[in-house]
Structure 1
Amino acid sequence: MGMIAYAVPAAAFIGVLLFFMGLSGFFAPSASSVEERMRAYAGPQETQKKKEKKKKAQRRELDPFATLSSDVEDKRFEARVQRSLARADLKLRVSEYYYIRIGLAFGLFLVVGIFRGFLPMGLVAGVIGYFLPRLWVGRRTGARLSAFNKQLPDTISLLSNSLLAGSSFLQSGELVSRESQPPISIEFGRVVREVNLGLGMEEALANMVRRIRSDDLDLMVTAINIQQQVGGNLAEILDTIAFTIRERVKIKGDINTLTAQGRYSGYLVAFLPVAIMLALQMINPDFMSPLFNETIGRILLGVGGVMMAVGFFMIRKITDIEV
């Protein structure tokens, strides 16, 4: 009992510390994009390596978790996670992102499992807390992609009009970064900075496609790259692409309207039985106790949960129509 009395506060301290270390990276002012690009293009010079080693040594003295930070960032999945954070426009290192996930998992486990005395539910809460930031990053990425796609047709028209006025494509990109709203202004601003730092236009646009992963943007960039290789009227090409994207958006809106009933039926199939079960548990716990305490009840719960999940994903698959 004495060990538990010390272990719980220690675990709480570690969880809170990790959580706030991750948040500090989110709210702290990050290095400018120009400095980041300069470091990326500096190349594997010996002086650069020495500077990096010195910085790591200093950070290890200041940060007791610097070893964990370096280990996490050196793994293969680091680039994939960093791309996910970049798509969500989050100024976080991979280690800071995992500090938040681990700290939140610790915190929910302690609150639900230790302090409230429900250890199994505490484990479930800890798992949920670990994956909550990932879900939030996914939703933020989806919202940013949706906003980007909505802005793209007007942006393409702006590029076309600027080209017709005699501006170069780079000057047109600068105009978009100044006159448009985020997130599209941010992305075109990055393209302009990359080109000004010496990167080719084709590669800078490819980087934007990797960050955004939009089919409409990929179509625009492909057309621009082909025009730069074989020639042609880029303004006219962009006008055609803008018209195509607007028609695609219109068709998607019509499909979403027609499939709305099916999508909400899927949510009803998945969540209505859970809501009824929770309501009955609150109204009459004795009536629901065999479902949780007896073997046959647990089997029925598992089978019902699997069937609801299968039904939900089948309905989602049917209503998810690609355009």
Structure 2
Amino acid sequence: MTPLVAAGLVGLSILLLFIGLAQVLSAPAEIVDDRLQRYAHRESGQFEFLDIIDDESDSGGSFLDELAEEQARRSGLLVELARADLKLTPREWFTFNFLVVLLMGLVGWLLFRNIVLAVGSAIVGIFLPRIWLRMRQQRRLNKFNQMLPDAIGLLANSLRAGYSLLQSMEVLSREMPDPIGAEFRVVIREVGLGLTEEQALKNLLERVPSDDLDMMITAINVQKEVGGNLAEILDILAYTIRERVRIQGEIRVLTSQQRLAGWVLTFVPVALFLFMFMVNREYVSLLYTTTCGWIMLVTAIFLIIAGNFAIRKIIAIEV
């Protein structure tokens, strides 16, 4: 590959990246609102779409859009995007994945001038968007769980003040910040569109796979069947969850050194490799230009991943 062709490919990839970002960031608010109304009921463990878009907008969809939507339904991508609170269509998500793979492949080629490493970099780019999506989901779930005891307490106080369950959830959607406020606004909207409270709460649990939220929804459903003081039940549940969150925080503090050690052991070899690559490329090139070097490189990557996985398993204490 000549320098001119490589420069052209880099420029093309950067142009495509900016076009994709501009398309995502310039989406009108009405489209975002429609996406928030997608989920009406669940069938076979996945969401189904509401027919809330008129015939004119439906007819404007392209074949690629329909293909992306169908693939997203089959792979569960719609649920994954909802859990991460990403306001992206399936086509935009697949476009983003393609751009990441293209950029990683070009970066690998420009850095190493080796087709095998360029392909390996592109393969790494396949997994990067999914890893980022999982991290975003986990961060949002942790924030939701930390706010849930206060939300349950507010729900119990509203019930004690004489509000119905639906009115209490509406108060919750107004008073609590995101992500809890946003999720309960979706629940209120789904009930307004004709779903039962039970089904709307099931959809909420599908979007937010929280064990604490599961306990709250189970308590609400059981109280509807057998009766009882729901406000008192929720108060006890809020106290239990609050204590659980406190214990999890203490465990996180006690294991912080081990977590840091795991990340250091993972990234120091990578940083050292990149430093040596910039300082003395010919010396480092033996790792990916000789058979012995490839064996050493693959073994090192395997051991680094195994070590990080082992440390994460050791410090993962369930409460």
Provide the TM-score with structure 2 as the length reference: 0.82
**How far off is 1:25 after superposition?**
4.2
Q: Secondary structure at the match of 2:71?
A: coil
Q: Residues 40 and 195 of structure 2 are in contact (CA less than 8 Å); yes or no, is this contact kept in structure 1?
A: no
Q: Deviations over 1:28-62 (max 9, x none)?
A: 12447579759958xxxxxx79x65x645433xxx
CA distance in 2, matches of 1:195, 1:299: 59
Task: Indicate whether 1:240 and 2:236 are aligned.
Answer: yes
The aligned counterpart of 2:141 is 145
The aligned counterpart of 2:309 is 313
The aligned counterpart of 1:82 is 78
Q: Deviations over 1:2-28 (max 9, x none)?
A: 9x9899968975884587357524541
The aligned counterpart of 2:299 is 303
The aligned counterpart of 2:119 is 123
Q: Which of the numbers 213, 226, 230 marks the counterpart of 1:230?
A: 226
Q: Secondary structure at the match of 1:198?
A: coil
Q: For structure 1, which segment, 208-217 or 284-293, has the greater mean C-alpha deviation from structure 2 after superposition?
A: 284-293
Q: Residues 78 and 90 of structure 2 are in contact (CA less than 8 Å); yes or no, is this contact kept in structure 1?
A: yes
Q: 1:286/1:155 Cα in 2 relative to 1: closer, same or farther (>3 Å)?
A: same
**How far off is 1:277 after superposition?**
3.4
Q: Deviations over 1:180-228 (max 9, x none)?
A: 1111111111111111222111111111111011111111111011001
Task: Indicate whether 1:20 and 2:28 are aligned.
Answer: no
Unaligned stretches of 5+ residues in structure 2: 42-50
**How far off is 1:280 after superposition?**
3.7
Task: Indicate whether 1:218 and 2:214 are aligned.
Answer: yes
Q: 1:121/1:260 Cα in 2 relative to 1: closer, same or farther (>3 Å)?
A: same
Q: Residues 109 and 118 of structure 2 are in contact (CA less than 8 Å); yes or no, is this contact kept in structure 1?
A: yes
Q: Which amino acid aligns with 2:170?
A: E
CA distance in 2, matches of 1:272, 1:115: 19
**How far off is 1:160 after superposition?**
0.8
Q: 1:15/1:274 Cα in 2 relative to 1: closer, same or farther (>3 Å)?
A: closer
Provide the TM-score with structure 1 as the length reference: 0.81
1:241-256 map, 5 Å? 241-256=237-252
Q: Secondary structure at the match of 1:216?
A: helix
Q: Which amino acid aligns with 1:274?
A: V
The aligned counterpart of 1:105 is 101
**How far off is 1:109 after superposition?**
3.1
The aligned counterpart of 1:62 is none
Task: Indicate whether 1:175 and 2:171 are aligned.
Answer: yes
The aligned counterpart of 1:63 is none
Q: Residues 18 and 99 of structure 1 are in contact (CA less than 8 Å); yes or no, is this contact kept in structure 2?
A: no
CA distance in 1, matches of 2:35, 2:136: 26
The aligned counterpart of 1:133 is 129
Q: Deviations over 1:88-122 (max 9, x none)?
A: 11121112110111123224434553799554443
Q: Secondary structure at the match of 1:139?
A: helix
Identity %: 41
Q: 1:284/1:319 Cα in 2 relative to 1: closer, same or farther (>3 Å)?
A: same
Q: Residues 158 and 176 of structure 1 are in contact (CA less than 8 Å); yes or no, is this contact kept in structure 2?
A: yes
CA distance in 1, matches of 2:194, 2:112: 58
The aligned counterpart of 2:46 is none
CA distance in 1, matches of 2:250, 2:145: 16
Q: Deviations over 1:151-173 (max 9, x none)?
A: 11111111111111111111111
CA distance in 2, matches of 1:118, 1:291: 12
The aligned counterpart of 2:290 is 294
Q: Residues 183 and 204 of structure 2 are in contact (CA less than 8 Å); yes or no, is this contact kept in structure 1?
A: yes
Unaligned stretches of 5+ residues in structure 1: 42-47, 60-65
CA distance in 1, matches of 2:38, 2:266: 50
- Structure with max Cα Rg: 1
Q: Which of the numbers 57, 60, 81 marks the counterpart of 1:58?
A: 60
Q: For structure 1, which segment, 73-82 or 247-256, has the greater mean C-alpha deviation from structure 2 after superposition?
A: 73-82
